[in-house]
Amino acid sequence: MEINRRQWLKSATMVGGFTLFNSLGLKALTIEEQKKFNPRLFNKPIKLSSNENPYGPSARVRAAITTVFSNGCRYPYSYANELAQILADKHGVERESIILTGGSTEGLKIAGITFTADGGEIIAAKPTFLAMMQYAEMWGANINWVPVDKNKGYDLQEIEKRISADTKMVFLCNPNNPTSTLLPKDQLMDFCSTVSKKTIVFSDEAYYEFIEDPQYPSMVELVKKGENVVVSKTFSKVYGLAGLRIGYLIAKPEIAGVLRKNVVAMTNVYAIAAAKEALRDDEFFSFSIQKNNEAKQIIYSTLDHLELEYIHSNTNFVFFHSGKNINELGDRMLEKGVRIGRAFPPFYDWCRISTGTVEEMQLFSKSLISLY
């Protein structure tokens, strides 16, 4: 009796173990790679719910952190100035345009309260990353939610249509979290340039390094032109430094000066040393991108065999149509040792899954297949 593809995959992952992964040409890390790139330990339940990098900090970054232990008694200000200059040079902006923050989340929050503390609204897509909007609401802001379109992308026409005298900011998460969609590059620059003449445009580029198109523009280009645009960046994703909490904002000096007044956490000397070395560690950067792509291929292959719809991702996670209530699916997957993403209204039968190590992806695949 001929076996169909779904039956084959189920038997391959549940009985044959690494059959699927061998077919994709994936190899286990060498001892040297484990030392250099620091894969996280395989412990159940595996956590594929927070879009963390499963690798890092790299050996070079860990060594850099140890060299500044004696500076732990000092405030980070002077050390921060050096990193800010490095980042300014990297992005081609003035030193005054860089604001270091305790992860990019702090940057989002301070931007939210800076521009809406006296009321007004933020226009944002739904669903998207909520840190800015939730914090701003606590300080009296109103959120004007614009549902994503049928392709789970931003409805730029509707967003622009809703701008009014009350609009203090338009928030773009690009690529978007949780949908992983990317705004069309032929529309993005014109949209942001036009809208920034009416209000502040905030571009959250936490996942920018994962974008596959090397010509895709960062909105830092508009900051250089003096537009009313704020860009957030982070060391949490491709650099593998989520636990150290360091990110930054980029804006023209006039806007940056206002934002800087609301920074609370800033960062610390260990994170600053780590970030400086991470920017130099091209080998880890390339490795991180490569392994993320490999993990996405495992997810895609699993979903293809299960004939489940998904969005081609420009991030380190995949958003797919599970066809099952996310809360029920989450409970079932957790029983099997896999923690998946939460609910993202109104898409209660869609699931966001973060990329992980090959071993983690194998368990995810085996667990998901067993439920269909």
Average pLDDT along the chain, 372 residues, taken 10 residues at a time: 47 48 72 96 97 98 97 92 97 98 96 92 98 94 97 97 97 98 95 98 98 96 98 98 98 97 91 98 98 96 96 97 98 98 96 96 96 96
Q: Which helix (H) or strand (E) holds 203?
A: strand 200-204
pLDDT on residue 58: 98
Comparing C-alpha atoms, which of 174, 99, 160, 108 is closest to residue 137? Answer: 108
Which DSSP letter does residue 202 get? E
Q: Does domain 60-280 have CATH number 3.30.70.1450?
A: no
pTM confidence score? 0.93
CA 341 – CA 320 distance, rounded (Å)? 11
pLDDT on residue 113: 94
CA 105 – CA 102 distance, rounded (Å)? 7
Residues in the chain: 372
pLDDT on residue 47: 98
Span 5-58+283-370: which CATH code? 3.90.1150.10
pLDDT on residue 265: 81
pLDDT on residue 16: 38
Dihedral sign, Cα of residue 228, residue 94, residue 105, residue 150: positive
pLDDT on residue 11: 53
Residues of the chain within CATH 3.40.640.10 domain(s) are 60-280
CA 118 – CA 177 distance, rounded (Å)? 28
Residues of the chain within CATH 3.90.1150.10 domain(s) are 5-58+283-370
Structure tokens at 42: 């395989």
pLDDT on residue 25: 65
CA 298 – CA 48 distance, rounded (Å)? 14
